Amino acid sequence: SEAVERPEENGHHNKRLKGDAGEEDAEDQNKKSPKRKIVLLMAYSGKGYHGMQRNMGSSQFKTIEDDLVSALVQSGCIPENHGEDMKKMSFQRCARTDKGVSAAGQIVSLKVRLIDDILEKINNHLPSHIRILGLKRVTGGFNSKNKCDARTYSYMLPTFAFAHKDHDVQEEVYRLDRETLDKVNKLLACYKGTHNFHNFTSQKGPKDPSAKRYIMEMYCGEPFVRENMEFAVIKVKGQSFMMHQIRKMIGLVIAIVKGYAGESIMERSWGEEKVDVPKAPGLGLVLERVHFEKYNRRFGNDGLHEPLEWTEEEEKIAVFKEQYIYPTIINTEREEKSMANWLNTLPIHDFNSSVVGMHANHKNSKVSSDLEGSDGCGDDSD
C-alpha cells in the first residue's frame, strides 16, 4: 500500500498509509455536508434510566438522551459541541417519559448531517435496548413537541389488580372474567372528553386552565397469559397528559373495581374539591405512539415531505416490544411485585372525605408551568 509522507512537529517525516488519509477525507466530507432537520422514531426499554430527558450537570442520573447524544456524536451525525449544547442542533423530544418508563414510538426532532447508512451507524453506538427504527425529513421549523397533536400510551398490568378486595386471590391462577372486564371498560370510557384533572397531578389547582385535558379514547384490551400470569393492556389517547395523570386515572379505576371507592368518586374528582386519587405503579407505562395529524394534512403530501406515519416500521416496533419492553415489565413484576405491593397500600387512602375550599390555597398561585409544560403540549412524564 502506497505511503504518504507527512512532516511531524519534530521535523522528521512519519509514514502514514493512504487508507488513513482516506478516513480523514471522509471526516472532512462529514464536516462539509449540510445539516438537515429530521425526526427519528425511537424505541427503548426505560428500566434503569431516569427518564428520557437529559439532565445536564446530573451525570449520576443516566437518561435515554445521554446514550442517544453520545451515539449521534460517535456516528458523526453531529459535532461534539452540539452534544454539550443540544439547542445547537434544535433538539426536541415529543414526550419526557419519566424514570423506568419505556417507549415504542418516541419521536425526536433535530438537525443532523445526513451521512450514509445513518440509522445503522447510530444504532451501532447504542445499547440493544435503545433502537432508532426510522427517520424522515421534516420542515425546517418543525418541533416534535409543539407539532404533536395527540399521544397514545399503553399500560400493561397483571389482571389480579382488578380482583375484588374481599376475595382471597392467588396471583398466578387469577383470570379476569367478562363481567369485571366490562366494568373496567365502562369506567375507563367515563374519562373520554374534556375534564378537569387537577386531582390527577400535583401542583395544579382546580382554577388552573391547564388542568383541563381532552381524552379521545381509553379502554382495556382482552387479557392474555405470559409466564403463567395473566396480563391486560390499557390504551389511552389524549391531546396531552400531565405528570402522573395516566397512572392516577388507572389507579382510581382499580380502586373502584376492587371495592375501595364508589363510582361517584370519579365525577367528584373532576370538581373543585380535593380528592385522594391513588397513583398506580410506573412499571407498565409505555409511550406507544405520537400523532401529527395537522402537520400531515399540511405537509405530508406537498411533494417535498413525507407524512409522519410509520406503517413500514410497525413490524420492527412490534418485534422490539416483544423482545425488550414486555419481558422487562413481566419479569420486573414477577420479581419485584410492584403491582401487588401497591395494591396493599390502597386501604390507606381515604376515598370518602374531601377538602372543600382547597382551591383557596391556589387562587393566588399563577398558572404553573410544571414538568409537562402547561401549554397543552405536555406529556405524562411518568
Q: Closest Cα to residue 379, out of 189, 207, 230, 243?
A: 243
CB atoms within 10 A of CB 168: 5
Distance of CA 182 to the CA centre of its chain: 28
Per-state percent for the chain, helix, strand, coil, to nearest 5: 35, 25, 45
CB atoms within 10 A of CB 116: 9
Q: Are 159 and 174 in contact (CB under 8 A)?
A: yes
Q: Is 98 a catalytic residue?
A: yes
What are the backbone angles phi and psi of residue 235, rounded to the nearest 5°? Answer: -110, 140
Q: How far is CA 159 from CA 156, 162, 179, 224, 234, in A?
A: 9, 6, 13, 9, 11
> d(Cα 316, Cα 338) in Å, to the nearest integer?
29
CB atoms within 10 A of CB 51: 21
214 marked as part of a ligand binding site: no
Q: What spatial distance separates the first Cα and last Cα of the chain, rounded to whole Å?
A: 57
DSSP 322: I
Cell of 247: 397512572
> d(Cα 373, Cα 297) in Å, to the nearest integer?
25
What are the backbone angles phi and psi of residue 2, rounded to the nearest 5°? Answer: -70, 140
Q: Among the options 28, 66, 67, 98, which is catalytic?
A: 98
Cell of 27: 471526516
Q: Are 148 and 96 in contact (CB under 8 A)?
A: no
> d(Cα 156, Cα 247) in Å, to the nearest integer?
11
Catalytic residue positions, numbered: 98
Detail the residues annotated as belonging to a binding site for substrate: 153
